[in-house]
Amino acid sequence: MSSVSLIGIDIGKHTFHLHAQDKFGKEVMRKKCS
């Protein structure tokens, strides 16, 4: 199981996106929230 080393947050007007990567740059989580 990969651990998260980078978290990105994109804040929009109506929704926001969460993105997490491990230390190798591989995506471990992506979620759209509204």
pLDDT in tens, the chain (34 residues): 579 999 999 999 999 999 999 999 999 999 999 8
pLDDT at 1: 57
Question: Distance between the two ends of the chain, CA-based, in angstroms?
Answer: 28
Instruction: Assess contact for 19 and 30: CB atoms under 8 A.
Output: yes
Instruction: Assess contact for 26 and 19: CB atoms under 8 A.
Output: no
Structure tokens at 11: 């804040």
Q: The pTM is what?
A: 0.72
pLDDT at 12: 93
